[in-house]
Amino acid sequence: MILLAGSANSILAQSGAATTGSTSTAAMDKYISSLMAKMTLDEKIGQLNLPSSGDITTGQANSSDIAKKIAEGKVGGLFNIKSVAKIREVQTIAVEKSRLKIPLIFGMDVIHGYETVFPIPLGLSCSWDMQEVERSARIAATEASADGICWTFSPMVDIARDPRWGRIAEGNGEDPYLGSQVAKAMVKGYQQDLSGNTDIMACVKHFALYGAAEAGRDYNTTDMSYTRMFNEYLPPYKAAVDAGVGSIMASFNDVNGIPATANKFLQTDVLRTRWGFKGFDVTDYTGINEMIPHGLGDLQTVSALALKAGIDMDMVGEGFLTTLKKSLQEGKVTMAEIDAACRLVLEAKYKLGLFTDPYKYCDEKRAATEIFTAANRMEARKIASDCFVLLKNQGNVLPLKRTGTIALIGPLADARENMAGTWSVAADNSKSVALLQGLKDVAGGDVRIVYSQGSNLDADTLFEQRAEAFGKTLRQDPRPEADIIRDAVNTAAGADVIVAALGESAEMTGESSSRSNIEIPQTQQDLLKALLKTGKPVVLVLFTGRPLAIKWENDEVPAILDVWFGGTEAGHAIADVLFGDTNPSGKLTTTWPQNVGQIPLYYNHMNTGRPLPEGAWFQKFRSNYLDVSNDPVYPFGYGLSYTHFTYSDLTLSSSLKGNQPLTATVTITNDGAKDGSEVVQLYIRQLVGSITRPVKELKGFQKIALKAGESRKVMFTITPQDLKFYNNELKYDWEPGDFVIMTGGNSRDVLSAKVNWTR
Ligand code: BGC
């Protein structure tokens, strides 16, 4: 690390310094203009440079000579640096050694929690509880800001319909409406009021269409029609912009022939002209340099292209730092372009209040008392238990009884380091609660718990490379598979029920972790078969960062609980649900296919000219497969409860004209024996349009708690605003005609009614 001895003098006395973190535009403009008037070209270009400190590894290349560059005014911000002490030292260099004493911003990937880790974002989205989503971001902001961080590279809102893509774990699933709600809630959670020191600036990413990588292979090309782009992929980014997100990150991928980092259409025409975005635009890690292998030219050329496209800050690659001056001299970029980028970076610092107090986020007392607190962990436990999705529960195997013997078997049963999943770079994952520990803590005295690893994660050699980069988090038993399984079967011999903790390891999900086979690895399937053969009831607790192809498991295993990677308190939260202290209420935000050949499989698809009738398998000259039905294993929006909900009496207000809103009312009855929560979902279909329209589109949802036996009427209001879409001319409007309104507890099982809406 870069350290500098010496006291930390505040720059409060610096002439003309802003006096508050106020965002009053006129005052900010005046302040920044006067500062920029003093800046040299090199200092302006320096503000556009964002090195990684190397404390944490999140990419290939690393930055060098950082302290020297900061003192020379060649750095605008720093990321991957952890602790108040280190951040204070670096900030001291900026505000005491550099000529103009401009403070740095400090970023980090605070994605689903800081040291207190919440479920991976895909899991979090399955709570369908926007207050919980917002609260998780709020806690993350409080902890990160207590540790010196003022900027997070979150929320990640890339729509993804391909579970081969490892980064599907980091987003909110396949739906643009739900994705937009989550985007809004996260931005609100991170940055409500930047004038204090408990909020941090958010950075929505990865702009754009990163989740549509061909074949689900990370960093791969995307090529997409504009109507699909605007209707299905862009809404969550726009929702973040509308919510006031302070910054945005360009994606690595090629979009319709131009990498996003040089894509002026995206970074300026859409983002600034259409959407009015006022924050700054940062590349992803060496995103500019990667345009050399993309095939757009040498570093000078691609750096100029990025600036001209609308990029303001260059992460790690130093293309801006090393080439922009030359490009200006050669007339390849303009001073106005450099000024505009520099101004936006400085504005972010102003909005964060760093010109008033560069050490605003460096409060050692906060760091000691506000991070990884018991209260935050309690919240993480509660939120995690609301994210798990009960996929199957035949014969009410769950909840587990608090008597007898439970055999906990599987490579993920006692795997603390795995619980946080992908992107928990600030956390000490050894402090997470494993399922074995959680079960013991929650079970109570009358339950005996026996444990055996049962299998390795997968064949020895797989994932070695990934483990090299990110650390191996699972024990590898060197014995032959049959011996390990035999031990597990013996362990389970005296048990009343078997809980099999299987699935993916954290290393199998997230960035650069695409899979061409999305099944549970073979060694674990072999174990599961052996456990089922014992004839005892088996509960599959499924750890995963993506929808998996588990048709066989769904056919054979009586109970399946999808627990994603639940974060710091995963073990407790899973045990809370397994024993029924929390009734599961999560619903899937992605479609789970039968096999990889069906991908992409998503609920809001077009009808085609030769649709297959619902419930049918194969018909000649229809849009289907010979060897598998069109159905998923689990549809979007699906998830069970320990109680049961019935939908009845869908009624719509009549005679719809113009802006008059439509109300849809439906009665939900908890006709099971337990209290529980249900996510009531509303879908619409426009039957005839100027372009083809999806067979279903989510347009509303409400999560309601119902006592056993209780009924409630739920009302949705739909306005023409909700019917709007981008037509072939990219005009955003609605079209009158017939609509089907549907409501239900998932996207497949719905009550429906038709309405005609006139202008
Ligand atoms: C990822 C980003 C992340 C960045 C900084 C990149 O590799 O794509 O999501 O924010 O690294 O760590």
pLDDT at site 1: 37
* Most confident of the ranges 8-22, 50-64, 433-447: 433-447
DSSP letter at 736 equals -
Q: Whose CA is nearest to atom 2 of ligand 1?
A: 284
Judge if the beta carbon of residue 757 lies within 6 A of ligand 1. Answer: no
- Using CA atoms, how far apart are residues 287 and 289, in angstroms rounded to an integer? 6
- In 3D space, the residue among 694, 513, 516 whose CA is nearest the CA of residue 599 turns out to be 516
List the single range of 94-108, 378-392, 464-478, 523-537 with lowest mean pLDDT. Answer: 464-478
pLDDT average, residue stretch 283-288? 98
Comparison of pLDDT for 249 and 445, the residue scoring more = 249
The answer to whether the beta carbons of residues 108 and 19 sit under 8 Å apart is: no
**What's the 560 CA to ligand 1 centre distance in angstroms?**
33
The pTM of the full predicted model, rounded to 2 decimals, is 0.96
Tens digit of each residue's pLDDT (9 = 90 or more) over 389-433: 999 999 999 999 999 999 999 999 999 999 999 999 999 999 999
Tokens of 608: 């085609």
pLDDT at site 461: 55
* Residues 6 or more apart whose Cβ sits within 8 Å of residue 481: 455, 456, 523, 526
What is the topology classification, in CATH, of domain 380-586?
Answer: Rossmann fold (3.40.50)
Tens digit of each residue's pLDDT (9 = 90 or more) over 20-57: 444 589 999 999 999 999 999 999 999 999 999 978 77
Residue of 284, 286, 511 best suited for mutating to test ligand 1, as the one with most atoms within 8 Å of CB: 284
Q: Exposed (0-12), middle (13-18) or buried (19+): which is 100, by Cβ within 10 Å?
A: middle
**What's the 615 CA to ligand 1 centre distance in angstroms?**
43
**What's the 253 CA to ligand 1 centre distance in angstroms?**
13
CA of 154, closest atom in ligand 1: 10
**What's the 495 CA to ligand 1 centre distance in angstroms?**
45
pLDDT average, residue stretch 588-611? 98
Gyration radius (Cα) of the chain, Å = 27
Q: Exposed (0-12), middle (13-18) or buried (19+): which is 741, by Cβ within 10 Å?
A: buried
Tens digit of each residue's pLDDT (9 = 90 or more) over 84-123: 999 999 999 999 999 999 999 999 999 999 999 999 999 9
Judge if the beta carbon of residue 511 lies within 6 A of ligand 1. Answer: yes
- Using CA atoms, how far apart are residues 394 and 472, in angstroms rounded to an integer? 35
pLDDT average, residue stretch 441-455? 96
**What's the 348 CA to ligand 1 centre distance in angstroms?**
20
**What's the 646 CA to ligand 1 centre distance in angstroms?**
44
- Using CA atoms, how far apart are residues 212 and 255, in angstroms rounded to an integer? 10
Superfamily holding 8-15+60-367: Glycoside hydrolase, family 3, N-terminal domain (3.20.20.300)
pLDDT at site 12: 31
CA of 249, closest atom in ligand 1: 10
pLDDT at site 62: 75
pLDDT at site 19: 37
pLDDT average, residue stretch 647-653? 96
Tokens of 67: 């302290």
pLDDT at site 200: 98
- In 3D space, the residue among 705, 419, 728, 389 whose CA is nearest the CA of residue 562 turns out to be 389
Judge if the beta carbon of residue 736 lies within 6 A of ligand 1. Answer: no
Q: Whose CA is nearest to atom 6 of ligand 1?
A: 285
Size (the chain), residues: 759
- Using CA atoms, how far apart are residues 158 and 165, in angstroms rounded to an integer? 11
Residue of 78, 106, 153, 290 best suited for mutating to test ligand 1, as the one with most atoms within 8 Å of CB: 153
Which amino acid would we find at residue 237? Answer: Y
pLDDT at site 466: 58
Judge if the beta carbon of residue 109 lies within 6 A of ligand 1. Answer: yes
pLDDT at site 470: 54
Residue 6 pLDDT grade (very low, low, confident, very high; cuts 50, 70, 90): very low
Judge if the beta carbon of residue 58 lies within 6 A of ligand 1. Answer: yes
List the single range of 19-33, 166-180, 516-530 with lowest mean pLDDT. Answer: 19-33
C-alpha distances out from residue 502 to 41, 449, 526, 747, Å = 56, 17, 11, 27
**What's the 294 CA to ligand 1 centre distance in angstroms?**
18
CA of 58, closest atom in ligand 1: 12
CA of 315, closest atom in ligand 1: 5
Question: 């456990």: which residue's tokens?
Answer: 531
Residue 7 pLDDT grade (very low, low, confident, very high; cuts 50, 70, 90): very low
**What's the 648 CA to ligand 1 centre distance in angstroms?**
46
pLDDT at site 71: 97
Q: Exposed (0-12), middle (13-18) or buried (19+): which is 41, by Cβ within 10 Å?
A: middle
- Using CA atoms, how far apart are residues 598 and 518, in angstroms rounded to an integer? 12
How many Cα neighbours within 13 Å face the side chain of 295?
5
Judge if the beta carbon of residue 132 lies within 6 A of ligand 1. Answer: no
**What's the 682 CA to ligand 1 centre distance in angstroms?**
35
pLDDT at site 474: 78
Residue of 253, 316, 511, 512 best suited for mutating to test ligand 1, as the one with most atoms within 8 Å of CB: 511
What is the topology classification, in CATH, of domain 643-758?
Answer: Immunoglobulin-like (2.60.40)
Judge if the beta carbon of residue 638 lies within 6 A of ligand 1. Answer: no
Tens digit of each residue's pLDDT (9 = 90 or more) over 491-520: 999 999 999 999 999 989 999 999 999 999
Is a pLDDT exceeding 70 seen at residue 9? no
CA of 252, closest atom in ligand 1: 8
CA of 80, closest atom in ligand 1: 12
- Using CA atoms, how far apart are residues 626 and 67, in angstroms rounded to an integer? 63
pLDDT at site 78: 97
Q: What share of the chain is helix, strand, coil (3-state, %, to 5)?
A: 35, 20, 50
**What's the 215 CA to ligand 1 centre distance in angstroms?**
21
Q: What is the pLDDT of the chain when averaged over all its residues?
A: 94
pLDDT at site 472: 65
CA of 206, closest atom in ligand 1: 9
Judge if the beta carbon of residue 512 lies within 6 A of ligand 1. Answer: no
C-alpha distances out from residue 719 to 238, 724, 734, Å = 20, 9, 10
Judge if the beta carbon of residue 284 lies within 6 A of ligand 1. Answer: yes
- Using CA atoms, how far apart are residues 288 and 43, in angstroms rounded to an integer? 20
- Using CA atoms, how far apart are residues 245 and 183, in angstroms rounded to an integer? 9
The answer to whether the beta carbons of residues 4 and 69 sit under 8 Å apart is: no
pLDDT at site 18: 38
pLDDT average, residue stretch 465-485? 77
pLDDT average, residue stretch 283-298? 98
Is a pLDDT exceeding 70 seen at residue 4? no
- In 3D space, the residue among 83, 69, 67, 77 whose CA is nearest the CA of residue 5 turns out to be 67
pLDDT at site 655: 62
Backbone dihedral angles phi then psi of residue 360, each to the nearest 5 degrees: -55, -35
Which amino acid would we find at residue 371? Answer: I
The answer to whether the beta carbons of residues 676 and 704 sit under 8 Å apart is: no
Backbone dihedral angles phi then psi of residue 118, each to the nearest 5 degrees: -95, 175
Write the DSSP string, 503-553. E--GGGSSTT---S--SPPHHHHHHHHHHHHTTS-EEEEEE-SS----HHH
Residue 531 pLDDT grade (very low, low, confident, very high; cuts 50, 70, 90): very high
Report the percentage of the chain scoring pLDDT > 70: 95
pLDDT at site 58: 76
Tens digit of each residue's pLDDT (9 = 90 or more) over 601-644: 999 999 999 999 988 999 999 999 999 999 999 999 999 999 99
List the single range of 253-267, 404-418, 653-667 with lowest mean pLDDT. Answer: 653-667
DSSP 3-state of 330 = coil
> Which residues are designated catalytic?
284
C-alpha distances out from residue 450 to 9, 406, 409, 498, Å = 59, 6, 8, 10
Question: 């090529």: which residue's tokens?
Answer: 223
The domain ranges of the chain are 8-15+60-367, 380-586, 643-758
Is a pLDDT exceeding 60 seen at residue 471? no
Judge if the beta carbon of residue 386 lies within 6 A of ligand 1. Answer: no
Q: Whose CA is nearest to atom 10 of ligand 1?
A: 153
Is a pLDDT exceeding 70 seen at residue 209? yes
Tokens of 640: 């069970």
Q: Whose CA is nearest to atom 12 of ligand 1?
A: 58
List the single range of 264-273, 286-295, 501-510, 683-692 with lowest mean pLDDT. Answer: 501-510
DSSP letter at 64 equals -
Tokens of 60: 């290939």
**What's the 125 CA to ligand 1 centre distance in angstroms?**
20
Residue 477 pLDDT grade (very low, low, confident, very high; cuts 50, 70, 90): confident
CA of 205, closest atom in ligand 1: 9
pLDDT at site 24: 85
